Structure 1
Amino acid sequence: MIDALAEFHFIRTAYLLFLIPICGLWWLIRPKRSGKSDLPLGIAPHLAEALTLGADEQRRIYPIDVAMVAAALVAIATAGPTWSRATNPLVADKAPLVIALKVTESMENTDLPPSRLERAKMKVTDLINARVPARTALVAYAGTPHRVAPLTEDANILRPLLEGLTPAVMPKQGDAAGDALSLAESILSESGVPGAVLFVLDDIDPSQLTQFQDATSQVFFLTMLPQGDEIVQLNSLKNTTVVPFSNDDRDVAKLQRQIQTAYENALDDQDRLDWNDQGWLLAWPAALLSLLWFRRGWVIRWALLGLFLVQPAGPANAQGWRDWFLTPDQQGQIAMNQKRYADAAELFEDPYHEGYARLKAGQYPEAAAIFAEINTPEAAFAEGMSRIRNREYRPAISAFETALSRRPNWPEAQHNLEVATAILDYVETTREQSDTGEEAGIGADDTVFDNESGRGENTTIQAQTEGAKPLSADQWISAIDTDMQDFLRNRFLLENQVQQQ
Structure 2
Amino acid sequence: MTDPALFLEAFHFLRPWLLVLLPVIAALWWAARRGRLRAETGAQALAPHLRAALTVGAASRRRLRPLDGAAMAFALAALGAAGPTWSRVPDPFAAQSAPVAAILKVAPSMTAGDVAPSRLERGKQKIRGFLERRAGARTALIAYAGTAHSVVPMTEDPDVMTPYLGALTPEVMPEAGDRAGEALALALAMLAQENAPGGVLLVTDAIDPADVAALNAAGAPLAVLALLPEGVRDRGIDALDAPVAQVTPDDADLARLERALDAAWRRAQLENAEQPWEDRGRWLAWPAAALTLIWFRRGWTMRWAALALVVAGAAFAPGGARAEGIADWFLTPDQQGELAARRGDFHAASDLYADPLHRGYALYRAGRYAEAREVLARLSTPEAAFIQGLAAIRDHAYRNGVRAFETTLERDPDFADAAANLALAKRIVTYVEDAQEQSDTGEQPDLRADEETYDNEANRGQEMEAPAPGDKAEAMPSTEQWMNAVDTRPADFLRQRFALEAARGPAADNAASAPDPSAGPAPGAAGQEAPE
Tell me if the contact between 1:98 and 1:184 (Cα under 8 Å) persists in the aligned partners.
yes
1:127 paired with 2:136, answer no
1:484 paired with 2:484, answer no
Residue type of the partner of 1:87? P
Structure index of larger Rg: 1
Identity of aligned residues (%): 42
Residue type of the partner of 1:358? L
Q: How far apart, in 2, do the equivalents of 1:87 and 1:243 lie?
A: 29
1:196 paired with 2:196, answer no
TM-score, normalization by structure 1: 0.64
Tell me if the contact between 2:88 and 2:269 (Cα under 8 Å) persists in the aligned partners.
no
Question: What's the secondary structure of 2:206's corresponding residue?
Answer: coil
Question: What's the secondary structure of 1:150's corresponding residue?
Answer: strand
Question: What's the secondary structure of 2:286's corresponding residue?
Answer: helix
Question: What's the secondary structure of 1:267's corresponding residue?
Answer: helix
Residue by residue, what CA displacement relative to the aligned partner does 1:178-214 show, whole Å, maximum 9, x if unpaired?
2221221121122211222122333333222221222
Seen in structure 2, the aligned counterparts of structure 1 residues 280 and 9 have a Cα distance that, compared at 3 Å, is same
Tell me if the contact between 1:434 and 1:480 (Cα under 8 Å) persists in the aligned partners.
no
Tell me if the contact between 1:356 and 1:382 (Cα under 8 Å) persists in the aligned partners.
yes
Give the RMSD, CA atoms, in angstroms.
5.5
Residue type of the partner of 1:353? H
Which residue of 2 is the match for residue 451 of structure 1? Answer: none
1:222 paired with 2:228, answer no
Which residue of 2 is the match for residue 151 of structure 1? Answer: 154
Residue by residue, what CA displacement relative to the aligned partner does 1:326-375 show, whole Å, maximum 9, x if unpaired?
65544554665677756654554433333344345554333333445556
CA deviation after TM superposition for structure 1 residue 160, in Å: 2.9
Which residue of 2 is the match for residue 258 of structure 1? Answer: 257
Tell me if the contact between 2:436 and 2:463 (Cα under 8 Å) persists in the aligned partners.
no
Q: How far apart, in 2, do the equivalents of 1:224 and 1:423 lie?
A: 42
Tell me if the contact between 2:223 and 2:260 (Cα under 8 Å) persists in the aligned partners.
no
Moved more, 109-118 or 344-353: 109-118
Q: How far apart, in 2, do the equivalents of 1:422 and 1:256 lie?
A: 41
Seen in structure 2, the aligned counterparts of structure 1 residues 473 and 195 have a Cα distance that, compared at 3 Å, is farther
Tell me if the contact between 2:76 and 2:284 (Cα under 8 Å) persists in the aligned partners.
yes
Q: How far apart, in 2, do the equivalents of 1:329 and 1:489 lie?
A: 47
1:90 paired with 2:81, answer no
Residue type of the partner of 2:360? G
1:101 paired with 2:110, answer no
> Would you say how many aligned residue pairs link Structure 1 and Structure 2?
437
Which residue of 2 is the match for residue 207 of structure 1? Answer: 210
Question: What's the secondary structure of 1:198's corresponding residue?
Answer: strand
CA deviation after TM superposition for structure 1 residue 20, in Å: 7.5
Moved more, 253-262 or 177-186: 253-262
Which residue of 1 is the match for residue 237 of structure 2? Answer: 234
Gaps of 5+ in 2: 40-44, 47-60, 299-317, 449-461, 470-482, 510-532
Q: How far apart, in 2, do the equivalents of 1:440 and 1:489 lie?
A: 18
Moved more, 221-230 or 338-347: 338-347
Gaps of 5+ in 1: 37-44, 47-58, 297-315, 443-468
**What is the 5 A alignment of 1:243-282?**
243-246=245-248, 248-250=249-251, 253-264=252-263, 266-271=265-270, 272=272, 275-282=277-284
Residue type of the partner of 1:177? A
Seen in structure 2, the aligned counterparts of structure 1 residues 202 and 86 have a Cα distance that, compared at 3 Å, is same
Question: What's the secondary structure of 1:138's corresponding residue?
Answer: strand
CA deviation after TM superposition for structure 1 residue 155, in Å: 1.9
Question: What's the secondary structure of 1:203's corresponding residue?
Answer: coil
Which residue of 2 is the match for residue 78 of structure 1? Answer: 81
Question: What's the secondary structure of 2:373's corresponding residue?
Answer: helix
Residue type of the partner of 2:212? L
Seen in structure 2, the aligned counterparts of structure 1 residues 166 and 28 have a Cα distance that, compared at 3 Å, is closer
Tell me if the contact between 1:191 and 1:415 (Cα under 8 Å) persists in the aligned partners.
no
Which residue of 2 is the match for residue 178 of structure 1? Answer: 181
TM-score, normalization by structure 2: 0.61
Residue type of the partner of 2:232? D
**What is the 5 A alignment of 1:77-476?**
77-84=80-87, 86-107=89-110, 116-238=119-241, 240-246=242-248, 248-250=249-251, 253-264=252-263, 266-271=265-270, 272=272, 275-288=277-290, 327-330=332-335, 332-333=337-338, 345=350, 348-359=353-364, 362-374=367-379, 378-380=383-385, 382-387=387-392, 390=395, 392=397, 395=400
Q: How far apart, in 1, do the equivalents of 2:110 and 2:137 lie?
A: 27
Q: How far apart, in 1, do the equivalents of 2:221 and 2:234 lie?
A: 19
Q: How far apart, in 1, do the equivalents of 2:213 and 2:326 lie?
A: 63
CA deviation after TM superposition for structure 1 residue 120, in Å: 3.5
**What is the 5 A alignment of 1:36-55?**
none
Tell me if the contact between 2:174 and 2:495 (Cα under 8 Å) persists in the aligned partners.
no
CA deviation after TM superposition for structure 1 residue 135, in Å: 1.6
Q: How far apart, in 2, do the equivalents of 1:474 and 1:188 lie?
A: 34
Q: How far apart, in 1, do the equivalents of 2:468 and 2:429 lie?
A: 14
Tell me if the contact between 1:171 and 1:496 (Cα under 8 Å) persists in the aligned partners.
no
Seen in structure 2, the aligned counterparts of structure 1 residues 78 and 495 have a Cα distance that, compared at 3 Å, is farther
Residue type of the partner of 2:225? L
Q: How far apart, in 1, do the equivalents of 2:161 and 2:379 lie?
A: 34
Residue type of the partner of 2:142? V
Seen in structure 2, the aligned counterparts of structure 1 residues 144 and 337 have a Cα distance that, compared at 3 Å, is closer
Seen in structure 2, the aligned counterparts of structure 1 residues 334 and 211 have a Cα distance that, compared at 3 Å, is closer
Seen in structure 2, the aligned counterparts of structure 1 residues 2 and 375 have a Cα distance that, compared at 3 Å, is same
Seen in structure 2, the aligned counterparts of structure 1 residues 103 and 424 have a Cα distance that, compared at 3 Å, is farther
Tell me if the contact between 2:102 and 2:202 (Cα under 8 Å) persists in the aligned partners.
yes
Which residue of 2 is the match for residue 49 of structure 1? Answer: none
Q: How far apart, in 1, do the equivalents of 2:116 and 2:437 lie?
A: 42
Tell me if the contact between 2:101 and 2:141 (Cα under 8 Å) persists in the aligned partners.
yes
Q: How far apart, in 2, do the equivalents of 1:393 and 1:282 lie?
A: 49
Tell me if the contact between 1:171 and 1:492 (Cα under 8 Å) persists in the aligned partners.
no
Q: How far apart, in 2, do the equivalents of 1:106 and 1:492 lie?
A: 23
